[in-house]
Amino acid sequence: MSPMQGGWDNTNVLLSLIDGTSVVLKAWDANTVDEVVRVIRRHLHLDAHGIPTPVPLRLAGGERHVERDGVAWTLLPHYEGGLLGSDAYSLRSLGEVQARMHLVPIEDYFPEVYTMGFEFFDGVLALAEERDEWSPFLDVLRKESARLRQRIPRNLPRGILHGDLFPDNVIGSGGEVVAILDLEEAWIGPLVFDLAMSFVGFGWHDGAPIEERWGALVQGYESVRELNAAELSALPDMHRYATLAIAGWRYWKHNLKSPVPGLANRYKEMVKRLDVPIPFLEALA
């Protein structure tokens, strides 16, 4: 047994078995059992439609999870390889897989409220006011949230989104996506938001957006599903919304929910990006 990196709340342990195979034991400490059941159904649904994602193994009784002391546990397949890279081949693969995921039929175990989105922002602001723990970032969050709510169109094409496509949620090998992990944040929303979030996760280096990475991601995506004019026009605001979502979650997690001095400033990486112009996104509009 050896601990695995990744994840902020749930525990993942690699089990190396005597027959030479490996599986991942996951303790869902941060989720209720009912939530875990819904997440498992999401993985099963995407897997059934050809999207590479880990499906919990069936256990002795036929179930895919067990409950101990109110916590759900699962055994997951272990994938060889590492996290997906940010090279052109990898990002074209990510764009292509993401577009295929966006075409999967909608099911009701995917919520229509984004767990890191506008409603979450409202909760963070209310909690800070209740505790009298206001900060300059919360002024930014309030202002940007109000602005984006007005600017983002409500009639964009919708479907199943991952919601948090950062490198630690994608296993890759040889420039190809092997598995998309962690569907806890998955939801039904505007498809172009997910593409913007992928760029937030994969498209920056040393505080600067990389145009070639964006080009590869979009090229892969449009090899499966073409973006319409309204989606292209919405991309700058969607990228800003996705950036704000990560900043808001990091601020809430490390300053309000579970303060950790060494992590308290992680949100600032995303706040700085809000002031960086991305001319190639504007050019697509």
> What global pTM score does this model have?
0.94
> Could you tell me if 222 and 240 lie in one domain?
yes
Residue ending a domain, among 57, 78, 99, is 78
Range(s) of the domain holding residue 123: 83-284
Q: Which amino acid is at 148?
A: L
> Could you tell me if 87 and 22 lie in one domain?
no
Number of domains in the chain: 2
> Could you tell me if 31 and 101 lie in one domain?
no
> Could you tell me if 262 and 194 lie in one domain?
yes
C-alpha to C-alpha distance for 113 and 117, rounded to whole angstroms: 8
Distances (CA, A) of 111 to 50, 190, 212, 214, 254: 21, 13, 33, 28, 25
Q: Which of 260, 248, 254, 90 is nearest to 167 (CA)?
A: 90
pLDDT (mean) for 267-281: 93
- Per-residue pLDDT tens digits for 76-91: 999 987 899 999 999 9
- CATH code for the domain in which residue 68 is found: 3.30.200.20
pLDDT (mean) for 241-260: 95
> Could you tell me if 142 and 67 lie in one domain?
no
- Per-residue pLDDT tens digits for 106-164: 999 999 999 999 999 999 999 999 999 999 999 999 999 999 999 999 999 999 999 99
Structure tokens given for 16: 């190396």
Task: Give the β-pairing of 170-173 and 176-180.
Answer: antiparallel
Q: Which of 263, 243, 251 is nearest to 197 (CA)?
A: 243
> Could you tell me if 128 and 249 lie in one domain?
yes
Residue ending a domain, among 18, 43, 78, is 78
Assess contact for 123 and 203: CB atoms under 8 A: no
> Could you tell me if 207 and 108 lie in one domain?
yes
C-alpha to C-alpha distance for 138 and 143, rounded to whole angstroms: 8
- DSSP for residue 80: S
Look-up: residue for tokens 């002024």? 139
State CA 188 to chain mean position distance: 13
C-alpha to C-alpha distance for 93 and 97, rounded to whole angstroms: 6
> Could you tell me if 50 and 99 lie in one domain?
no
Q: Is the dihedral of CA 262, 267, 269, 272 positive or negative?
A: negative
In 3-state terms the chain splits into helix, strand, coil percentages (rounded to 5) of 45, 15, 35
> Could you tell me if 224 and 126 lie in one domain?
yes
> Could you tell me if 11 and 102 lie in one domain?
no
> Could you tell me if 123 and 94 lie in one domain?
yes
Q: Which of 39, 168, 200, 181 is nearest to 111 (CA)?
A: 39
> Could you tell me if 175 and 267 lie in one domain?
yes
Q: What's the Rg (C-alpha) of the chain?
A: 19
Residue ending a domain, among 52, 78, 104, is 78
- CATH code for the domain in which residue 171 is found: 3.90.1200.10
Q: Is the pLDDT of residue 284 over 90?
A: no
C-alpha to C-alpha distance for 179 and 46, rounded to whole angstroms: 11
| pLDDT score at 13 | 93
β-pair partners for 83: 171
